[in-house]
């Protein structure tokens, strides 16, 4: 089992460019999440999907959009990247259909916005 996979691993963008971060899980989990991790801030939830076909805002949703493509895949889109979005982005999944529970994380995408 691969667990949670994320692409790309690294990305450099210029201010104003757009990109989509991809996430897939092979554990048949119902819920999926996008977090960002910044020094001194801990992990903060951007968006989550408690079940296929639903998405909800987390703590820091501004500047991001998400799509739950199917049960396996959950993508995060930056429409117009800003330097404040420089961060490490983690996707996670959990078996339940709520916003919490034991979550399993991917390896992360490191994004630098110049």
Partner 1 sequence: EDQVTQSPEALRLQEGESSSLNCSYTVSGLRGLFWYRQDPGKGPEFLFTLYSAGEEKEKERLKATLTKKESFLHITAPKPEDSATYLCAVQTSGSRLTFGEGTQLTVNP
Residue nearer to partner 1 on the CB measure, 22 or 104: 104
Q: Of 83-112, which residues contact partner 1 (CB under 8 A)?
A: 90, 92, 98-108
Residue with tokens 């999907």: 49
The residues in 9-48 that bind partner 1, with binding defined as CB under 8 A, are: 40-45, 48
CA distance 64 to 101: 24
Total residues binding partner 1 (CB under 8 A): 23
* Interface positions with partner 1 (CB under 8 A): 4, 40-45, 48, 58-59, 90, 92, 98-108
């Amino acid at each position: 089992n691969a667990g949670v996979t994320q692409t790309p691993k690294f990305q450099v963008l210029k201010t104003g460019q757009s990109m989509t971060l991809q996430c897939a899980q092979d554990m048949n989990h119902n819920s999926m999440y996008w977090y960002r991790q910044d020094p001194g801030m801990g992990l903060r939830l951007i968006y989550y999907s408690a079940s296929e076909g639903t998405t909800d805002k987390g703590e820091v949703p501004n500047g991001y959009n998400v799509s739950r493509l199917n049960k396996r895949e959950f993508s995060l889109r930056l429409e117009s990247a800003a330097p404040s979005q420089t961060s490490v982005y983690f996707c996670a999944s959990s078996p339940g259909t709520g916003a919490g529970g034991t979550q399993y994380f991917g390896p992360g995408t490191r994004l630098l916005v110049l």
